[in-house]
Amino acid sequence: NSRETDFFQKGSLLFGLDTAKKAIQEKESVFLVEGYTDCIAMVKAGYTNTVATLGTACTLNHLKLLSRYAPYLYLLYDSDAAGEKAILRLTQLCWQANMELKVVHLPTGQDPASFLETNNDLGPRIESAQDIFAFFIERLGAGYAIAPLSQKVSKIRQIIEIIALIADPLKQDILLHTASQTFGLPFESVKNELKRQVKSAEAQSQPEPKDAESRPIEETSSIEKRLFCAIINNVELFDPQIDNYVIEHLGEPLNTIAKKLLISKKTHSPFEFDHFFDTLSPNEKEAVSKLLVTYTEPVSKSAYEKLLHTFQKKRWKQIIQSITAQLAVAHTEGDQATIDRLLLRYKKLKETVIPATAQNYTGEGNS
């Protein structure tokens, strides 16, 4: 499991894609497996339109990349809890890619390589592959009958939130029927809950009175959007000890969203995008989705540092004003640790982006 570098980004690379492209385009479908061993086994068995992720979960970047070559994607993940969790997460992402995803079920405890090495026939399982949304409903419905009422309501609403993201009304109705049968609820009740959620989302998306610091995502500067997406696509790039002031000077709604991202990173190690996404309001989810669709390419460490440098150059006055105000408070409270941290931050800025004419802006010599 190799570490990432500027030239090796797991979130955007797929094992075997270079040799599988032609077969994928000819067959208008692609098989996605979890590792190169499964990929090699699939190709040996004649499924030459197979690719694999490289030691990481399938990302939106992967889906968008594959959607350039085929409209259908078949998932062959290990039949264990981790594989199931990965598929459930993909359900929350796949509506953003122009692709239809299907789940190929394997026997418990097996992966594609182990299944094929005993001369099993994969064909019937591919033919009976399950739509990913139907899979999501079925899995979330497991244990529903004995779950407490609060969990039942939560499961149903979670499913309907996903169905609401689908643009095709006919597919929505088909999945609503599946959900109503799975949970033993009248179709009209499920349909009404969908309408309620859509209406609520529309109400929340209506323009609200803007204060001095808030603005719609469309009005956010390009550099802020790119910097935010660089962080969200590879959260490990962001060092809270060094880069925290970046969040302080992002405009809304990115400021609030980025703070939630930091909290999620601190409380969940390793960072889980789906947990972070669940903490967002409907408006914030919409903003993040729009940005991730627009800025799909992952950013290397060096490219991130260039974005950070550009942002600092554009915002150096506001950043210095903030440091000055925080220094005044720290001096008043006798907080030497904070004073040292702020002066170190100022020194780094002074060395990189602050114009020479403004380098005494903070009254550094009086500290």
pLDDT of residue 367: 41
pLDDT of residue 212: 35
Q: What are the tokens at 129?
A: 């592959």
Say if residues 41 and 112 touch (Cβ distance below 8 Å): yes
**How many residues are recorded in the chain?**
367
Domain boundaries, the chain: 17-138, 141-204, 217-294, 301-366
Say if residues 92 and 44 touch (Cβ distance below 8 Å): no
**Residue 236 neighbours by CB under 8 Å, 6+ apart:** 271
- In whole angstroms, give the CA distance from residue 158 to residue 41: 36
Number of Cβ within 10 Å of residue 136's Cβ equals 25
Question: Torsion-angle region of residue 19: left (phi > 0), alpha (psi -120 to 50) or beta?
Answer: alpha
* Beta bridge partner(s), residue 73: 30, 101
Say if residues 328 and 343 touch (Cβ distance below 8 Å): no
> Which residue type is seen at 194?
L
pLDDT of residue 210: 44
- CATH label, 17-138, candidates 3.40.50.1370, 3.40.1360.10, 1.10.10.10, 3.10.270.10: 3.40.1360.10
> CA torsion angle for 191, 193, 198, 203 (degrees, to 10)?
140
* 3-state SS assignment for residue 220: coil
Note if the bond before 270 is cis, omega within 30 degrees.
yes
Q: In this structure, what DSSP letter does residue 103 have?
A: E
* 3-state SS assignment for residue 5: strand
**Residue 196 neighbours by CB under 8 Å, 6+ apart:** none
pLDDT of residue 38: 94
> Which residue type is seen at 149?
L
- What phi and psi values does residue 345 have, to the nearest 5 degrees? -60, -45
**Could you report how far apart the first and last alpha carbons of the chain are, in Å?**
48
- In whole angstroms, give the CA distance from residue 16 to residue 39: 8
CB-count burial class (<10 Å; 0-12, 13-18, 19+) for 292: buried
| Number of alpha carbons in the 13 Å side-chain half-sphere of residue 11 | 18
Q: In this structure, what DSSP letter does residue 83 have?
A: H
Classify the C-alpha dihedral 134-30-51-6 as positive or negative: negative
- In whole angstroms, give the CA distance from residue 252 to residue 123: 51
Nearest to 175 by CA among 129, 126, 125, 130: 130
pLDDT of residue 16: 94
pLDDT of residue 259: 82
CA 347 to chain centre: 34
Q: What is the pLDDT of residues 222-261, one digit of tens each?
A: 888 888 888 777 777 766 655 566 777 777 888 888 888 8
Q: What are the tokens at 40?
A: 């090699």
Number of Cβ within 10 Å of residue 113's Cβ equals 19
pLDDT of residue 361: 42
Helices 301-333, 336-352: crossing angle, 10 deg rounding: 140
Q: What are the tokens at 227?
A: 């910097």
Q: What is the pLDDT of residues 316-356, one digit of tens each?
A: 677 777 777 777 777 777 788 878 877 877 777 666 655 44
Give the chain's residues under pLDDT 50: 1-2, 4-11, 207-214, 355-367
